[in-house]
Chain A
Amino acid sequence: MRLFRALLHLYPSSFRHEYGEEMARLFAERRRGAPLPRRLALWLEVLGDALATAPRIHVDMLRQDLRHAGRTLARSRGFAAAVVLVMALGIGATTAVFSVIDRVLLRPLPFAEPQRLVQVWENVPGYSRLEPSPANYRDWRQMTHGFERLEAYMPNPVNMIWREPERVAGAALTADLLPMLGVQPSLGRLFTPEEGRLGGPASVILSDRLWRRAFGADPAVLGRGVRIEGSTYTIAGVMPPTFYFPDRDTELWMPLTLGPEWFEDRDNNALQVVGRLKPGVTLEGARAEMNGVTAALEAAHPKENAQTRATVRQLGDQVSQPSRLLLRVLAAASVCLLLIACTNLASLNLARFGTRRRELSVRAALGAGQHRLTRQLLTESLVLSLCGGAAGVALAVPAVPLLARLVPTTLPVPDATVLEPRVLLAALAATTATGLLFGMLPALRFSRRVEAAALREGPRGTAGGRERVRPVLVAAQIAASVLLLVGAGLLLRALHRVQAIDPGFDARGVLTVRTPLPMDRYQATAARGAFYERVVDEIQALPGVSAAAYTSFTPMVMRGGIWAIDVPGRTAGAPSSDTHTASLRFITPGYFHALGVPLVRGRDVSRGDTGEAPFVAVVSESFARKYWPDGDAVGQRFTVAFFERLIVGVAGDVRVRGLEMPSEPQVYVPHRQIPDGWMPFYAPKDLVVRTAGDPVALVPAIRRILREVDPELPVSHVRTMEQIVELETAPRRTQAAVIALFATAALLLAGVGLHGLVAYGVAQRRREIGVRMALGATPPSVVGLVVRESVRLSALGGAAGLVAAYLVASRFDLLLAGVPAADPATFIVAILFTGVIAVSGSVVPALRAIAVDPSTALRAE
């Protein structure tokens, strides 16, 4: 008999509860007194029966429940719409944020065994991640044993000419780097060992994007030659569209071959080094080994490698601390919103259950079993939440690209998208869990009550015990929305603070254009000088242009370009923890005027500062202050970029590294004071033009001038300086906007929740209110009665929210840009908003309460 009962578990539980007992008895009756062979036959029969009918019963019931749910929900469209909307907001926000976080933080890089891939930097005082020099890299390779491979690459932007000249972000890789990542080309081949050797055949591998854009996706380009930087390279292969390395922008790869001159200077910090750990070697093991190796190298080269250690990190573990924090804040905010949505759902369901109890009790009385009703309630809740979840995913689809702008594009992974199994599954799981959990709440309540009790209550129907759960839920909602509100407020204040930071230049009316000069034709300093002078002269002749100049790199676009300096008597004896480096720029005359950097003392560089004239430099105020704190820097000498130079001017400080990062002191050198072919990386290529009018209007004229001077020159990065500065705060703006959006949604939800609760209370207390009014209560006192509850909950929730906000904010001070976590203005605004919620949540119910006609309220019983 026990076996038979076990068999019954094949049936849906509500069916089993209804009929299991009967079926068991039926079985027992047939079995009674039967001989063994007949018993066996009976067993076979019931087994077959169960297998045949149980699945059909499951389907029957599902269909019935769905039909029933559809009918019930069609009858209460307002409720259904509210639930779908609430769910859509909660699920939409979490799904969108999850898909970005999944892509950026959780998912491993799309390479073979990515957990064994590491990146290695030099670690020196002041810079924990400095590009290793070729000489050190070569020694690391020879001295370490924990790495299966240690490969190197260098970002290598190039001028490529196929049909038209084009500037392409490329990278030079050691030949074994791609095999180390475990990737395969979609067309052609990777580099051969010969191609990786110095003087070997020149070849390139194209990204799928470049192959489609510049080569029309023509497979026949394999093996053909393309002009790059004046030489011809054979196209060896095309990578698949999902391959990115080292970052999303790189579209072309060529072998990295370093001549002996690269290995002469151990301070030539030029390479990026990536490695694959041997199986079984841990990150800590690799760090310990690198520590030993770099210590030995310091002993061998005490001057160049002074205090030089190594930083070893997992490849892909390069999402910066602020970005991580930012994502975490977003995740917390979206979870907050989901929780608010959930409490709202629970609240909605409870309220609706209150009005449905009678219906359910009647059905129970008519013979619908407890399990059957519970199941139907759950089905209803699931149908609604699945609709809401689908709507939420639909909301998340367009939101993800916006959110993705919050994280840097440097990660070598494809774009985040919602439409992907992992994310959709997560959304489905969240939706189902929410639906089950909050559908369960009323179902549980129902099963706790005696059905008949509701029937006996008569037409009052909804009057049950005092609501205890809903007030708590509403207060929690208010707390969470106040938390989000304060978060949004603090982030907005931080954004304004960052936007108010003086970049050190005047961005208004400035246009920047990049024209990298191909070094095969412009290796001679004089050739470059002739180009700059002709271009600058012609542009300055354009109407409205007040200044034009070339520089090595525009600030905030290129944040590096740091060079060691030597100040006689100041740098030698100084403590070695002090770094003596500067942000070095080669410029043409008029640069300070064009960018709007004040020249504090002395003079600008001039056309007279040629290779034959005395070598000079202009330094920033911070540089002058650092080395000549109590004297005049003008007239002093120091060494930078291989020569001793005389300081002729002092300019204002520029935030080269961006608005929120400390920048090195700046040094500007006249572009002609460098021998032919030296430091090509620093050869001026960014044009800066200041105009009185709209800078964008100048673009066609500037393009025409550049084409006339050199038709083979690629023109790129056409942007206004204002756009560049705006990019600095773009992540903050998006973040503040997203949190503000979340906060608004949360406030709305909390308002709806509060309104529902208060309105429900008024409906329940109609009789009491009627009696009070009949006894002479004035409308204001009735309003007070209604509003009191609302104010109490708002105050409670608001206070909890403010405390939580302070605690959270003080942990995220990195994102606050110096705005105190307990910023009074933000908190006052949040308190005002809480007041607004309290009032708006109770206005309509209060009006309804005054409108109660005592005689009808009393007669209604």
Chain B
Amino acid sequence: MTSIDPREVDGLLPLPPATFHILLALAEGERHGYAIIQEVAARTNGAVRLSAGTLYRSIQRMLEQGLIEESRERPDPDEDDERRRYYFLTPFGAAVARAETARLTQLVRLARASGFTTGKA
């Protein structure tokens, strides 16, 4: 991962919601699958519950796209379940998450300018 090609970043936008949620869930460090589901649920107050199929389909695609990678170092040998697989955000993944955030922010700004504010449908 030397330099990040902005065109490659833009090529992936807009992100599917599940992908974006997973990127956000991995922002603070590596997690295994179940932890990602729980983290997403916690962040959205239970509004978004990823199903196992959606989760692993997204993970597979994100691995292929280079957004995340599977970790080889385990956090703590004692509490680590040896068979669990952990994922972490790549720099490219972080760049994509930032770009998506910027895109959404821009979108929200546009919406506000058009008179749409929260609470006023």
Contact = CB atoms under 8 A, between A and B. Distances in A.
A367 B63 contact: yes
A60 B61 contact: yes
Given A22-B33, A25-B34, A56 B84 contact: no
Interface in A53-90: 53-54, 56-57, 60-61, 64
A367 B57 contact: no
A21 to B, nearest CB: 6
Interface in A21-67: 21-23, 25-27, 29, 45-46, 49-50, 52-54, 56-57, 60-61, 64
Interface in A365-409: 367
Interface in A572-598: none
Give the interface SS of chain B, mostly helix, strand, loop or mixed: helix
Contacts of A56: 57
A531 interface: no
Contacts of B52: 23, 26-27, 46, 49
Contacts, number: 56
Interface in B55-96: 56-57, 59-61, 63-64, 69-70, 83-85
Contact of B59 (A19, A26, A27): A19
A56 B52 CA distance: 14
A64 B57 CA distance: 13
Given A22-B84, A60-B61, A53 B34 contact: no
A363 B117 CA distance: 49
B34 A26 contact: yes
Interface in B17-44: 32-34, 37
Contacts of B85: 22
B51 A53 contact: yes
A465 B92 CA distance: 40
Interface residues of A, number: 24
B61 A26 contact: no
B54 interface: yes
Contact of B53 (A21, A25, A54, A367): A54
B60 A26 contact: no
Contacts of A27: 52
Contact of A26 (B37, B64, B69, B83): B37
Interface in A625-671: none
Given A56-B57, A60-B57, A45 B33 contact: no
Contact of B56 (A19, A29, A52, A367): A19
A15 interface: yes
B34 A64 contact: no
A18 interface: yes
A49 B84 CA distance: 22
Given A60-B60, A60-B61, A49 B54 contact: yes
Interface of B: 32-34, 37, 51-54, 56-57, 59-61, 63-64, 69-70, 83-85
Pairs of residues from A and B, 10 with the lowest C-beta to C-beta distance, nearest first:
A53-B53, A49-B51, A19-B56, A49-B53, A23-B52, A367-B70, A57-B57, A22-B33, A26-B34, A53-B57
Interface of A: 11, 15, 18-19, 21-23, 25-27, 29, 45-46, 49-50, 52-54, 56-57, 60-61, 64, 367
Given A18-B60, A26-B52, A57-B60, 4 more contacts: A23-B33, A26-B37, A46-B51, A367-B69
